[in-house]
């Protein structure tokens, strides 16, 4: 049956892909965004759809609509953006969660929280299972995001226990694909833009820190499966690609795929930057029958094509 579904942060990278998938699945979608990091350009292909609606709104303020399901994706997710206004980042995670949980309580809607692998901090356990409680610096420059998301998870589970809300919590690991913001400071978009411009590719530290990269279509499939799971499956559930690559390996792949003349340059490692990041997805495999399908080279090819078109068209960001 078609549902009325609210997607906060719907004009962002992940949000716009989720809106598109939900529309294709036959639902009515209300996209809410304040356009801090999201952009209307991501929504252009959807604007003429008869079951799609867009509202400019900041989730730190209450929202009064009638919906059956809520996907709460609203929060800047890259260090450049979330450190620009760290107080507002914390407010978005915490006040935003309170407001969306309040809406879910009033409407009895099922609600999804996009949490993050950053709740694990710089991990002492590798790969990271959902049972690992993390190694996070609560007063560091990344804490506005890390601790904001941790607090949001607390709120979700307290609302679940206290008010019997139907919740789903996904811990998202590094995701990439078309519609990423070219200036968000994330490693995939950074490397691709630098390579396409034949500029030096910046590696922080010695480039041996590792990340696991999940293509956006795989992640959105994980979202849909988690939301459709029985109510006993609350999460948190890790969603990401367990394939692990060093940052240097990623840079070399991007240079090869773009036929770039870029050279690698090194800069000091940022404060509290995790040295390892790899999801343990055994729970997702078991309860959602989900695992990523898109190989890194294949996903990078699609992402490079997107950024090449963006740069060729001179699209301002």
Helix 143-163 and helix 86-107: axis angle, to 10°?
20
Burial classification of residue 273, based on how many CB atoms lie within 10 Å of its CB (0-12 exposed, 13-18 middle, 19 or more buried): middle
Burial class for 54, CB neighbours closer than 10 Å (0-12, 13-18, 19+) = middle
- Short-list 60, 283, 67, CA closest to 170: 283
Structure tokens at 42: 């991501």
Q: Which residues pair with 52 in a beta bridge?
A: 29
Q: 132: closest CA among 231, 287, 285, 279?
A: 279
Q: Name the DSSP class of 192.
A: H
From residue 183, how far is each of 12, 188, 202 by CA, in Å? 13, 11, 14
The kind and range of the H/E element at 85 are none
Distances (CA, A) of 63 to 100, 102, 122, 152, 229: 8, 9, 35, 17, 26
Residue 138 three-state SS: coil
* Active-site residue flag, 145: yes
Per DSSP, which regions of 117-177 are E strands?
A: 167-172, 175-176
Catalytic residue among 71, 82, 120, 145: 145
What is the 8-class DSSP label of residue 121? B
| Active site residues per annotation | 145
């Amino acid at each position: 049956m078609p549902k009325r579904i609210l997607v906060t942060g719907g004009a962002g990278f992940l949000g716009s892909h989720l809106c598109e998938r939900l529309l294709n699945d036959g639902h009515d979608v209300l996209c809410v965004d304040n356009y801090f990091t999201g952009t209307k350009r991501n929504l252009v292909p959807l604007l003429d759809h008869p079951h799609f609606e867009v509202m400019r709104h900041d989730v730190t303020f209450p929202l009064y609509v009638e919906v059956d399901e809520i996907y709460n994706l609203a929060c800047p997710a890259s260090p450049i953006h979330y450190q620009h206004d760290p107080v507002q980042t914390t407010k978005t995670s915490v006040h935003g969660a309170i407001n969306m949980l309040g809406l879910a309580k009033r409407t009895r809607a099922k609600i999804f929280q996009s949490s993050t692998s950053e709740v694990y901090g710089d991990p002492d356990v590798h790969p990271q299972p959902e049972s690992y409680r993390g190694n996070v610096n609560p007063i560091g420059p990344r804490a506005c995001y890390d601790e904001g998301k941790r607090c949001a998870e607390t709120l979700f589970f307290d609302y679940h226990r206290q008010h019997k809300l139907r919740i789903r919590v996904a811990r998202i690991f590094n995701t990439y694909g078309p519609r990423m913001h070219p200036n968000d400071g994330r490693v995939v978009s950074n490397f691709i833009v630098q390579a396409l411009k034949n500029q030096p590719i910046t590696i922080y530290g010695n480039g041996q820190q590792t990340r696991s990269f999940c293509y956006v279509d795989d992640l959105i499939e994980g979202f849909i499966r988690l939301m459709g799971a029985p109510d006993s499956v609350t999460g948190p559930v890790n969603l990401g690609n367990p394939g692990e690559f060093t940052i240097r390996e990623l840079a070399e792949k991007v240079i090869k795929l773009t036929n770039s003349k870029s050279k690698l340059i090194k800069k000091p490692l940022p404060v509290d930057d995790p040295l390892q990041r790899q999801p343990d997805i055994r729970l997702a495999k078991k309860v959602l029958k989900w695992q990523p399908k898109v190989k890194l080279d294949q996903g990078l090819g699609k992402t490079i094509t997107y950024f090449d078109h963006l740069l060729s068209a001179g699209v301002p960001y």
